[in-house]
């Protein structure tokens, strides 16, 4: 379980406070009471609501970028090169 | 037509060794493959190549945004891995060790390109972009493709925009963003790959995400 960072409890969070703890917020490393304060701040702050939403979307979009397949010609070239090396032509290159 | 029997025989030998993974991969753990490869088992090393070539190619492609460069990095990574295999102490997993080699090769290539192109320091740009909590003239909002009428088309454009924006993230932050948010490594694994502390991973990841966010708010609003 992740260790949650202790932060001094303020009565009200400012926008700067929210921005400074954004990472912990998304990494779920934040205490319940601070989380509650963020949610309360969001209810009255459009800017921070947008900031949190956009930060979340960046993480989401990074996850949905698909993987590229290794092009066949690259794959073959790599295998032939590795074969050259492992079959002994360059075996002296294998450091002891 | 004259067939060069010797050459044909060599090619057959190569392709016999490197058959499609689903048919020919040895049913062995990574640890066992590494152990065998260290003892000189060519087949075991070939299996390791097949297991990880796609991940390494994608890591390099995301770092360099160029297929030709990614192919070079892929080849150099495995050649280096082979040459230095006996130095691999198995304190980390083989793939984190490979990632480290691939990232080092990629970063060196990036630096070389930067020198050749005589660009302004990427780090300088990074700091200035990060400093501004820019809203891109869009009130700080990034559109969510799921709510679009042309969902699929929009999704493709967004992916392209994110891909392009990623290329502008300073390499030190980009590598962490790729490993953590795209490759799905834990903070601990990223720290191990990059040989940095966990707080440094978190800091770079946050900076990278904020940098991307600041780039994307303006660009995605125009899609």
Mean pLDDT to the nearest integer, B76-82: 95
Q: How far is CA B209 from CA A41, B62, B100, B177, B213, in A?
A: 22, 15, 21, 7, 6
Query: Does the pLDDT value for residue A71 go beyond 90?
Result: yes
User: Would you list which residues of chain A are within 8 Å, Cβ to Cβ, of chain B?
Assistant: 19, 22-23, 27, 46-47, 50-51, 53-55, 57-59, 61-71, 74-75, 77-83, 85-87, 93-96
Q: Is the pLDDT of residue B118 over 80?
A: no
ipTM entry: 0.77
By percentage, how much of chain B surpasses pLDDT 70?
74
Q: Could you report how far apart the first and last alpha carbons of chain A are, in Å? A: 41
More confident residue, B60 or A6: B60
pTM: 0.74
- Tell me: pLDDT of B142 over 70: no
Q: Which helix (H) or strand (E) holds A50?
A: helix A46-64
- What pLDDT does residue B42 have? 86
**Cβ–Cβ gap B18/A50 under 8 Å:** no
Nearest 5°: phi and psi at B19?
Answer: -80, 165
pLDDT at residue B147 above 70? no
- Greater confidence (B137 vs A55) lies with A55
CA distance A53 to A91: 54
The mean per-residue pLDDT over the stretch B132-156 comes to 60
Higher pLDDT, B86 or B123: B86
């Amino acid at each position: 379980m992740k260790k949650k960072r202790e932060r001094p409890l303020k009565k009200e969070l400012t926008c700067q406070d929210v921005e400074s703890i954004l990472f912990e917020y998304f990494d779920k490393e934040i205490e319940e009471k601070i989380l509650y304060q963020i949610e309360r701040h969001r209810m009255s702050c459009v800017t921070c609501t947008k900031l949190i939403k956009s930060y979340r979307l960046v993480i989401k979009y990074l996850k949905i970028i698909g993987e590229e397949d290794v092009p066949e010609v690259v794959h073959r070239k790599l295998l032939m090169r590795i074969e050259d090396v492992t079959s002994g032509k360059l075996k002296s290159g294998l450091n002891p | 037509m004259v067939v060069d029997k010797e050459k044909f025989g060599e090619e057959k030998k190569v392709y016999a060794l490197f058959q499609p993974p689903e048919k020919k991969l040895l049913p062995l753990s990574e640890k066992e493959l590494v152990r065998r490869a260290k003892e000189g088992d060519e087949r075991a090393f070939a299996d390791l190549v097949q297991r990880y070539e796609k991940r390494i190619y994608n890591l390099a492609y995301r770092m360099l945004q160029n297929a030709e460069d990614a192919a070079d990095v892929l080849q150099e990574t495995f050649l280096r891995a082979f040459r230095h295999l006996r130095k691999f102490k198995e304190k980390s997993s083989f793939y984190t060790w490979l990632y480290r080699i691939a990232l080092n090769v990629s970063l060196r290539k990036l630096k070389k390109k930067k020198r050749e192109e005589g660009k302004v320091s990427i780090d300088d740009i990074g700091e200035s972009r990060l400093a501004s909590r820019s809203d891109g003239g869009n009130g700080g909002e990034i559109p969510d493709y799921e709510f679009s009428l042309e969902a699929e088309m929009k999704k493709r454009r967004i992916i392209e925009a994110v891909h392009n924006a990623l290329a502008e993230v300073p390499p030190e932050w980009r590598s962490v963003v790729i490993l953590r948010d795209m490759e799905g490594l834990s903070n601990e694994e990223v720290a191990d790959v990059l040989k940095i502390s966990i707080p440094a991973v978190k800091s770079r990841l946050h900076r990278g995400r904020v940098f991307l966010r600041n780039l994307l708010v303006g660009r995605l609003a125009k899609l």
